[in-house]
Amino acid sequence: MAEFLVLGPLECRSANRAVTITGTLQRALLATLLAAEGTPVSADSLVTELWADSPPPHWENALQAHISRLRRRIDTVAGGRSARLVIEHSGYCLRTDEDTVDAKVFMHKFDYARVLGTTDPGAAADALREALSLWRGKAFGLVSQGPLCRTVAQRYETARLVALEMLFDLELRSGRHTDIIPTLSELVEAPTLNERFCEQLMIALYRSGQQARALSSYSRMRERLDAELGVEPTITLRNLHNAILNHDPALRLGADHAVLRA
């Protein structure tokens, strides 16, 4: 059975062994077909994905050659069971089983955790950890990406960000605030400014008896927002800062910290 990994460097595996897909265009073609998630991709769209505005003179022949080469490679590793590259009236389509593409598995677990989170935050957090463990780097890695791949990669990255935010909220609800402090501390210091992570870190620190560090985290975020973007923290983050100063009951262990966002 073939497995396709796109949540990080593009990989194809068979029997838990890496299968080499050589050539920049072959890898871009595979990434595009996987990004389409079972929807046929027209020849014109594939040309744009592979060559942008500079297709070769006889691009029809070149595209067909790449399609044939990739189909043979997939047939060799999948045996027609878990993946098939087929031609449909509207274009080319890579048919895969639901559990053979890591992005599909991630999105399924993510949706399941969202539903479960309303009734069992601990179990939902476990499901999210399992889903997030599938990530190995940036979606589609260093594959040369056309418009479709870039759009889908951004959708996956956004879902990953939401999953992380949801996970930390669930951990706070489950009383596991101490466990998430190291990871949140790293995320807050990352180049991407994320005030939601800062908010969650401040709550986790406060509940761990580290009020001074919580206030320091706010000050650091405020300084970065001013220096890098020329803006103030959101009203939500400012309200949380005041809540910590005033020991708001919503910050106590077991309370619903989400009310502070309202």
CATH number where 43 lies: 1.10.10.10
The predicted structure's pLDDT at residue 17: 74
More confident residue, 118 or 147: 147
Arithmetic mean of pLDDT, 183-191 = 94
Arithmetic mean of pLDDT, 190-201 = 94
Tell me, yes or no, whether 122 lies in a domain.
yes
Tell me, yes or no, whether 5 lies in a domain.
no
Quick check: helix, strand or coil at residue 138?
coil
In terms of average pLDDT, the best of 25-39, 63-77, 81-95 is 25-39
Residue 215: half-sphere exposure toward Cβ, Cα within 13 Å: 10
Q: 10 Å Cβ neighbour count for 148?
A: 19
The predicted structure's pLDDT at residue 40: 94
Tell me, yes or no, whether 1 lies in a domain.
no
Burial class (CB in 10 A: 0-12, 13-18, 19+), 165: middle
Residue 3 has pLDDT above 60, yes or no: yes
Residue ranges making up the domain that contains 168: 101-174
168, 197 Cβ separation under 8 angstroms: yes
The predicted structure's pLDDT at residue 14: 82
One domain for residues 16 and 94:
yes
How many domains does the chain fold into? Answer: 3
Tell me, yes or no, whether 2 lies in a domain.
no
Residue 254 has pLDDT above 80, yes or no: no
Both tokens of 187, joined, read 């995320």
User: Of 98, 115, 146, which residue constitutes the final position of a domain?
Assistant: 98
User: Of 41, 65, 98, which residue constitutes the final position of a domain?
Assistant: 98
Residues 6+ apart with CB under 8 A from 242: none
Tell me, yes or no, whether 203 lies in a domain.
yes
200, 168 Cβ separation under 8 angstroms: yes
179, 209 Cβ separation under 8 angstroms: no
Q: Please state, rounded to an integer, the average pLDDT across all residues of the chain.
A: 90
One domain for residues 41 and 61:
yes
Residue 80 has pLDDT above 60, yes or no: no
Both tokens of 254, joined, read 């077991």
Arithmetic mean of pLDDT, 215-237 = 95
Residue 71 has pLDDT above 80, yes or no: yes
Arithmetic mean of pLDDT, 156-174 = 93
Residue 223 has pLDDT above 80, yes or no: yes
More confident residue, 175 or 41: 41
One domain for residues 134 and 202:
no
- As a whole-number percent, the residues of the chain with pLDDT over 70 amount to 97
Q: What is the DSSP letter of 205?
A: H
Residue 224 has pLDDT above 90, yes or no: yes
Tell me, yes or no, whether 4 lies in a domain.
no
Tell me, yes or no, whether 167 lies in a domain.
yes
Tell me, yes or no, whether 3 lies in a domain.
no
Arithmetic mean of pLDDT, 153-159 = 95
Arithmetic mean of pLDDT, 235-240 = 94
Amino acid code (one letter) for 178 = T
The predicted structure's pLDDT at residue 173: 86
Q: What are phi and psi of 12, to 5 degrees?
A: -125, 135
Q: What is the DSSP letter of 101?
A: B
The predicted structure's pLDDT at residue 262: 64
CA-to-CA separations, 28 to 111, 134, 143, 168, in angstroms, rounded: 28, 21, 6, 35
d(CA 153, CA 159): 10
One domain for residues 162 and 127:
yes
User: Of 98, 124, 151, which residue constitutes the final position of a domain?
Assistant: 98
